Amino acid sequence: MAAMALRVEALRGLRGRFRWRTPALAGGVRGAARDAAAGRQDYDLLVIGGGSGGLACAKEAAQLGKKVAVVDYVEPSPRGTRWGLGGTCVNVGCIPKKLMHQAALLGGMIRDAPHYGWEVPQQVPHDWKKMAEAVQNYVKSLNWGHRVQLQDRKVQYFNMKASFVNEHMVRGVAKGGKETLLSAEHIVIATGGRPKYPPHIEGAVEHGITSDDIFWLKESPGKTLVVGASYVALECAGFLTGLGLDTTVMIRSIPLRGFDQQMSSLVTDHMASHGTHFLRGCIPLRVRKLPDNQLQVTWKDLVSGREDIDTFNTVLWATGRVPETRSLNLEKAGVNTNPDSKKILVDAQEATSVPHIYAIGDTAEGRPELTPTAVMAGRLLARRLCGQSSELMDYDNVPTTVFTPLEYGCVGLSEEEAVARHGEEHVEVYHAHYKPLEFTVAERDASQCYIKMVCLREPPQLVLGLHFLGPNAGEVTQGFALGIKCGASYAQVMQTVGIHPTCAEEVAKLHISKRSGLDPTVTGC
């Protein structure tokens, strides 16, 4: 990696500036190959992948005066689901997920309404078809918006499946089979990832769906088994339960691996207390379709070794994701990948083993699989390529939120990571169980509403991480993330005046440490 970094810096010169070659139009496939061999490229920058990171990079470079093209193609899911420009976030991720999460939250508000004087019938049915149509129409409007933005910035868009011919040339294959060769001085790979199926499980692919499909279902999924314990699994299970569907989550080991495990347990405890069923320590063995079209699932309890069977209308696999790199022919360009994860190896500049080829977002090794990080990394990369900046993407203290029924927002280190890095004797954790004001009149259970701030023990007690479980966690965490990014200390947070009455103010009132052993339950207003 050090040698790669030196090679990249030598090519870049001071402040990461590049010399762009004069672009030339390709005269057909042979003309493109001939021009590329002569050192003439079609584009200054070619972006492979039309998701959040790729589009952000392309638009930024075009705005800075470069000739840019985007090549994007969505391979239909095994079920046949397809979508438009915008990547996972827009089509089968953040956007439809948050909208369906909101639909589920509205169901809870309907149940609260009588406590506040609203005479609302308590048996209000939910219409999946109507919700799905509204969500899908909004997603399609975003697809169109991305197309318009590319056109406005004079970014050429190719709806083609891309693969490398050599380190400067990419072959695009359109739906009808037509081939186009595109060459560029610099290439950015931003192809993201897709959900993976467990191919060793009988019936998994034939009868199951993934998050690539759930948001595009025309009819209600009905009784659903969600296999997996990732944030995708829990978010989907959460809104399905909230919409009134019988939902079960099958967990092999631990929920939300990589997140703070105390917070993860509280998330699943809340879900269980609100109707989501959990099968812990279990693995699926097979899925078979019955004559009545129901799915019979057989699973094994890893502790007892006993096998069980139940029937479901839908089986949703949420057991991880794989990068979309296998069909790119990266070896023809000399781009190295991790042999296990198949993700592309990159340095701090997002450069691959080939200095003028870059990778950002979910396809890059060691990067958070989050839309905002891909967007920022793409924009910063474009500015460096255009000589406008030398700023690198900082992947530390990136905030995120898990949109489970009770939302979990976090930024910085988990308690486990802080202890592993600094030692338990050097870490102080301040925490509180609190009750949102909105929960009081409606008599909602708030036993899982919890905050903890992980700090260094030595004054002024630098904040290492913040974890918030409660309503609007994303909004709360986003604000405090700025302070933590700027190196806030516990003392500074305590000097911050809270906004009353809010859940966020409880962060600025944390005064009981775990080490003290005192009851952290907030009393009074």
pLDDT tens for the chain, 525 residues: list them. Answer: 444 444 334 333 333 333 343 333 344 555 555 555 555 689 999 999 999 999 999 999 999 999 999 999 999 999 999 999 999 999 999 999 999 999 999 999 999 999 999 999 878 999 999 999 999 999 999 999 999 999 999 999 999 999 999 999 999 999 999 999 999 999 999 999 999 999 899 999 999 999 999 999 999 999 999 999 999 999 999 999 999 999 999 999 999 999 999 999 999 999 999 999 999 999 999 999 999 999 999 999 999 999 999 999 999 999 999 999 999 999 999 999 999 999 999 999 999 999 999 999 999 999 999 999 999 999 999 999 999 999 999 999 999 999 999 999 999 999 999 999 999 999 999 999 999 999 999 999 999 999 999 999 999 999 999 999 999 999 999 999 999 999 999 999 999 999 999 999 999 999 999 999 999 999 987
- Among candidate residues 65, 50, 49, 210, the one with its CA nearest the CA of residue 143: 50
Please give the torsion angle defined by the CA atoms of residues 42, 47, 49 and 52, in that order, rounded to the nearest 10 degrees.
Answer: -140
Task: Please tell me the distance from the alpha carbon of residue 367 to that of residue 381, in angstroms, as a whole number.
Answer: 15
pTM attached to this predicted model: 0.92
Please count the other Cβ atoms lying within 10 Å of the Cβ belonging to residue 29: 12
Are 467 and 481 in contact, with CB atoms under 8 Å apart? no
Q: Which distant-in-sequence residues (6+ apart) come within 8 Å of 221 by Cβ?
A: 128, 209, 214, 240, 245, 313, 314, 316
Structure tokens at 511: 């005064």
Q: Which distant-in-sequence residues (6+ apart) come within 8 Å of 98 by Cβ?
A: 403
Please count the other Cβ atoms lying within 10 Å of the Cβ belonging to residue 428: 19
Please give the torsion angle defined by the CA atoms of residues 484, 486, 491 and 494, in that order, rounded to the nearest 10 degrees.
Answer: -60
Please give the torsion angle defined by the CA atoms of residues 120, 122, 123 and 124, in that order, rounded to the nearest 10 degrees.
Answer: 40
Task: Please tell me the distance from the alpha carbon of residue 423 to that of residue 417, in angstroms, as a whole number.
Answer: 10
Strand-pair partners of 61? none
Please give the torsion angle defined by the CA atoms of residues 332, 337, 341 and 347, in that order, rounded to the nearest 10 degrees.
Answer: -140
Are 402 and 234 in contact, with CB atoms under 8 Å apart? yes
Q: Which residue has the tokens 């002569």?
A: 38
Strand-pair partners of 224? 247, 314
DSSP string, 496-512: SPPPSS-SGGGGGG---
Are 26 and 181 in contact, with CB atoms under 8 Å apart? yes
Tell me 345's DSSP state: P
Q: What is the pLDDT of residue 39?
A: 54
Q: What is the pLDDT of residue 330?
A: 98
Strand-pair partners of 396? none
Task: Please tell me the distance from the alpha carbon of residue 294 to that of residue 245, in angstroms, as a whole number.
Answer: 15
The amino acid occupying position 492 is: Q
Give all strands of the β-sheet with 314-317 in edge-to-edge order: 277-280, 247-251, 224-227, 314-317
Q: Give, in degrees to the nearest 5, the angle at Cα 413 between 407 and 419.
A: 125
SS3 518: coil
Please count the other Cβ atoms lying within 10 Å of the Cβ belonging to residue 123: 4
Strand-pair partners of 432? 451
Structure tokens at 488: 């806030």
- Among candidate residues 36, 45, 47, 41, the one with its CA nearest the CA of residue 73: 47
Are 393 and 373 in contact, with CB atoms under 8 Å apart? yes
- Where does residue 40 rank: exposed (0-12), middle (13-18), buried (19+ CB within 10 A)? middle
Task: Please tell me the distance from the alpha carbon of residue 126 to that of residue 217, in angstroms, as a whole number.
Answer: 15
Task: Give helix 128-152 / helix 94-112 axis angle, nearest 10°.
Answer: 140
Q: Which distant-in-sequence residues (6+ apart) come within 8 Å of 187 by Cβ?
A: 45, 46, 47, 48, 168, 170, 333, 356, 357, 358
Please count the other Cβ atoms lying within 10 Å of the Cβ belonging to residue 115: 12
Please count the other Cβ atoms lying within 10 Å of the Cβ belonging to residue 248: 19
Choose, from 146, 270, 431, 500, the residue flagged as catalytic.
Answer: 500
Whether 207 is catalytic? no
